[in-house]
Amino acid sequence: MGANRDLRLNSVPGFTSYIDGTGVLVSASSSEYIVISDIMASTTGILKEDNSSGDTVMTIAAAGHSNLVSPIQMKNGKDLFNDNSNMKITVCYWKGRA
């Protein structure tokens, strides 16, 4: 796999997070905000702020992979929450300081 690595990934700062089912995917302190750059999902679902009653960040309409043309920046201090118990999801992200 090393020989096939996409070298463009070397210029992407940040982290990767994975969750299988409902729960907080990425957490942020009150002085941070999350920026999502890439999403891979096993099925459709909804990503929300903080918990299942939070504002919708993104609706995932189909399973697959998406390199976002415009990264999604969340509000200061808001966690990213997976609201679908059947969805396995990975996001690439970075954090900024408020």
**Which residue ranges make up each domain of the chain?**
2-97
User: What's the pTM value of the predicted model, to 2 decimals?
Assistant: 0.83
Under DSSP, is residue 71 helix (H, G, I), strand (E, B) or coil? strand
Query: Minimal CA–CA distance to 86: which of 27, 16, 33, 20?
Result: 20
16 φ/ψ angles, rounded to the nearest 5 degrees: -125, 140
- Per-residue pLDDT, 98: 77
- Per-residue pLDDT, 1: 42
- Per-residue pLDDT, 78: 95
Q: Strand locations in the chain, DSSP E?
A: 15-20, 23-26, 32-41, 45-49, 56-60, 64-73, 80-82, 88-97
- Per-residue pLDDT, 6: 52
Beta bridge pairs of residue 40 = 65, 90
Query: Minimal CA–CA distance to 38: which of 60, 7, 22?
Result: 60
Give the residues of the chain that fall short of pLDDT 70: 1-13
Alpha carbon distance 31, 62 (integer Å) = 33
What's the fold here for domain 2-97?
Jelly Rolls (2.60.120)
- Per-residue pLDDT, 64: 87
